[in-house]
Amino acid sequence: MNQSIKLAIALILAFTIGAACHWVTIPVPAPTALEGGLLLLSMTAGYVLMDKVLTRNQTTSNE
């Protein structure tokens, strides 16, 4: 899957969850504090780094 498709899926999922939480009037499961934002940033960075590592390992093992 290329990066554009992954980004589009992530944005659609994020907006869908946000809209559903607003429609049902429940709190959005998103951090409001600085620590929560940093946690979200570190989780995203970890996902991106592992995606690159696994993709590199997969292409190396296929050769």
Query: What pLDDT digit, counting tens, does each position of 4-57 carry?
Result: 888 888 888 888 887 887 788 887 666 667 777 777 788 888 888 888 888 877
Rg value, the chain, Cα? 16
5-14 pLDDT per residue, tens: 888 888 888 8
Both tokens assigned to 27:
């709190």
Q: pLDDT at position 62, please? A: 61
pLDDT at 17: 81
Domain range annotation of the chain: 1-30, 31-63
In angstroms, rounded to a whole number, what is the distance separating the alpha carbons of residues 22 and 30? 12
